[in-house]
Structures are given as structure tokens and as C-alpha cells.
A and B are shown apart, each in its own frame.
Chain A
Amino acid sequence: MKRTIANAALLVLAAALPARTFAETSAPNWLVDTMYGSGKINTVVVVVSVVLIGLGAWMFTLDRRLGRLERDQKSRP
């Protein structure tokens, strides 16, 4: 049940994000400057970070799942 609620919340958030970005006409200046500066290298940094964060988050969920399995094994006689 808890998982279903969390998933639903995530879905709503995912749906709301583009709606928000469509309404946005301009990002803050410092952000644009950082992303466009030095030949736009920071965009690459952000993209690589997103990939690493995504894989890290996936490892966390796998870790939790395995932890739950281990606990179940232990609690069983």
C-alpha cells in the first residue's frame, strides 16, 4: 500500500514537472550562465551526474530489497 502511494505521488510529480517547465519562460541568469559558459561543458557535467545519480538510486532500491529479503530469511525459523 505504502509503495502504491509513493508510486502514485511520483507519477503525479512527473506529470507536473513538464507543465511547470512549459510555463517557465526564462531560467535564472546564474543557471543559464553556468550551463552555457566555457563552451557548455557544465551541461555535460550535469548529464553525467544525472546518470550517476540515477544508477545510485537504483542501487539503493536494490539494496533495500535485498535487505528485506535477508530480514525475512532471518526471522523465519
Chain B
Amino acid sequence: MKGGWWKIGTVLLLLYVVIVGLRTPLAPALVHASVDRIAPGPVSFDIKGYNTHFTEGSVTAWLENDGQQVCSAPVEVLADDRARVTVTVPQGFRKPLTSVWVFTAKDGPIALHDAFFTEGLGDGITGTPCRPGGKYLRSGLAFPDRAILNETIRNLFFHVPMWFAMMALMTIAVWQSVRVLRSGSLEADRSALSAVHTSLLFAALGLTTGSLWARVTWGGWWTSDPKLNGSAVTVLIYAAYLVLRGSIPDAHKRARLAAVYNVFAYALMLVFLMVLPRLTDSLHPGNGGNPAFSTYDLDSSLRAVFYPAVLGWIGLACWAYTLTDRTERLNALAHEAHDR
């Protein structure tokens, strides 16, 4: 297998992505509190944790409103992921939303932000710092447990790279189309077609996986999000590329026209997927005016898997493209032999 090192690399990268991406636990987090409104006076509520270790060591809890803290009475631990917090809410919170924090010896400080709503505000309270000193032992790689996303944050390694793979193949396609325009080569035209065909496979995978993920996190199979509609339009533009090809019988004319169309299609794809979503608000992270990477809530643990995932899936897509293109080449040779 001469020159096959990148194929081996692709397999190894994807192996790493599947193992680490699925095996790494989510960081401990609070996911639910049994009440959502608090008023001055004693209040008692249950908190639900995820991957927490309440039973190991002591548990401290406190409320935090606008930076001011109210310590709870001793926490009653019910299970590793369940505890009852009793606290006397003072008069005079400055902000309507209050967070609850829990500190355990193993997990460290974890919060359920803006968990409670309070009516009737005041000028502040005489808060005391409640967080115990001392170290905690959170060890190993863990992905952040973000609200609503929860475990589906792992889809970052299986949905997002599909679009990277699609764009990589579209780049190959446009490069082959430029070759067609420079030399009129029918071989390059065939390669461009193979690249578009293969990239549509990844676009279909991206759309399907995205739709599933959207159903569970955003509540709908399809939302009128600029990125969703942009990707749908992109797929239609490239479907039209295939239709255009099918409508021209002469091979040389077809090659030139398809190449010109493909250059425009590529520019449109960049506008629909990279430019327009950034100009408006979007449910996708990193949109609404900001480049994806600086604001995307990628912490280092996610990056450690996400970048290899992007490389690995692009590698797989290129591999799929070469297989398609080689098959098409054999097909063309067979037809030539047949016509002779």
C-alpha cells in the first residue's frame, strides 16, 4: 500500500475519536432543583446531580445572588446524585435570579446557575463566604456538562466534522473544475463530479444527524435557523449541478458549463454556510456576528477530540472520494473500450 499512510492515519484518528469521544465522562454537574421560586424565610429543596459524588466526603451548599452568598444548613445527602438543601433565605436580594452551589470533596464547586426566581428585591444582604477552603480531587479528562446539551455534546465529533468533510470535498471539486476551465480536461470533469457526489453523501449525513440532535436539544426536527436553511439551499444548489450535467449531451460542452456552474456554486456555499449565519442570530454556537472558534464553548477537553475528529472525517471523505473517482475512471475506460 504505497502512499497509504494517510489512510492508516485516518483510521487511527477515527478510532481515537470514537474511543475517547464516547468514553470520556461528563464533568459532575447539577441538573435540577425541586423548586424554582424562593421567598424570604426557610426553604428546603432537593438537588439532582449528574456524575456527582455526594456520598464521598462532606457536602457544602450555598445560594449566590449577585455575588453575595447565603450558606445552607448541613446538607442531607440522599444518594450520590441527590441531596436535600435547607437554607434560610434573607430579605433583600439584589437580583431576581439566584444560583445554587454545591462543594464536595471529590467534585469541587459545581453550580446550577439561575436556579431560583425571587420576587421583591432589596439593597443586598450581609453575605458571608461559604465555600470551604482546601483542595478537591477532580481527576482525568471530562467534557463539560452543559445545560440542555448534556451527553449530546459528544455529537460535536460526529455531526460537525461531516460539514468540514463536505466543504473539503467541495474544495477538491472546485479545484478540479478550475482545471477543466484551464485545460478542458474530461478527466478533471469526472473528478469534479466524483467529489460533488461524495460530498453530498456527507451533506446528507450532516443534515440527518443535525436534525436528530436538533429534535432533542432545540425541540424540533427542523428550525428556521440560518445555518440549517443555508445548508439545505447548498444541497439544492449542488443537486442542480447534477441536473445541469444530465441535461447536456455533449461531453466537452458539459464539462465546461458544469465547471463554470461549480465555481459559482462553491462561492454560494461559502456565503450560505460561512457568511450569512454570522450576520444573523442563530441557534448554532459561534454565529450572530462572531467567528465560530473564538466564542464556541470549546474547552480544552473538547478540542482534544474535536480537532482529531475533523482531520479524521476529512481523511475518510477524501478516501471515499478517491474510491469513487477510481471507480468512475474504470467505468469511463470500459465505456471507451466498448465504443471502440
A binds B: yes
Residues of A within 8 A of B (CB): 18, 21-22, 27, 35-36, 38-41, 43-44, 46-48, 50-51, 54-55, 58, 62, 65-66, 69, 72-73, 76
One of A36, A62, A72, A73 near B324 (C-beta < 8 A) = A62
**Is B225's CB within 8 Å of the partner chain A?**
no
**Is B110's CB within 8 Å of the partner chain A?**
no
A44 and B205 contacting across the interface, CB-CB below 8 Å: no
Min CB gap A27→B, angstroms: 8
Binds A, one of B93-101, B150-158, B282-290: B150-158
CB-CB < 8 A to A72: which residues of B?
A: 334, 338
A62 and B152 contacting across the interface, CB-CB below 8 Å: no
A36 and B334 contacting across the interface, CB-CB below 8 Å: no
Q: Is the interface of A mostly helix, strand, loop or mixed?
A: helix
B208 and A39 contacting across the interface, CB-CB below 8 Å: no
CB-CB < 8 A to A35: which residues of B?
A: 215-216
The docked-state distance in angstroms from the alpha carbon of A31 to that of B26 is: 23
The docked-state distance in angstroms from the alpha carbon of A48 to that of B156 is: 11
The docked-state distance in angstroms from the alpha carbon of A41 to that of B145 is: 12
A69 and B334 contacting across the interface, CB-CB below 8 Å: yes
CB pairs A–B below 8 angstroms (14 shown): A21-B222, A39-B26, A40-B216, A41-B151, A43-B151, A44-B154, A44-B155, A47-B158, A48-B18, A50-B208, A50-B209, A54-B205, A66-B330, A76-B337
The docked-state distance in angstroms from the alpha carbon of A54 to that of B158 is: 12
One of B22, B154, B158, B334 near A51 (C-beta < 8 A) = B158
**Is B162's CB within 8 Å of the partner chain A?**
yes
**A50 and B152 in contact, given A44-B22, A62-B323 (Cβ under 8 angstroms):** no
The docked-state distance in angstroms from the alpha carbon of A66 to that of B323 is: 10
The docked-state distance in angstroms from the alpha carbon of A39 to that of B143 is: 13
B327 and A50 contacting across the interface, CB-CB below 8 Å: no
Q: Which B residues, 137 to 171, have Cβ-Cβ distances below 8 Å to chain A?
A: 145, 149-152, 154-155, 158-159, 162
The docked-state distance in angstroms from the alpha carbon of A65 to that of B337 is: 17
Top 7 A-B pairs, shortest CB-CB distance: A39-B151, A41-B151, A21-B221, A39-B150, A54-B205, A47-B209, A43-B216
CB-CB < 8 A to A48: which residues of B?
A: 18, 22, 158
Min CB gap A40→B, angstroms: 5
**Is B50's CB within 8 Å of the partner chain A?**
yes
Min CB gap B26→A, angstroms: 7
**A47 and B151 in contact, given A54-B204, A73-B334 (Cβ under 8 angstroms):** no
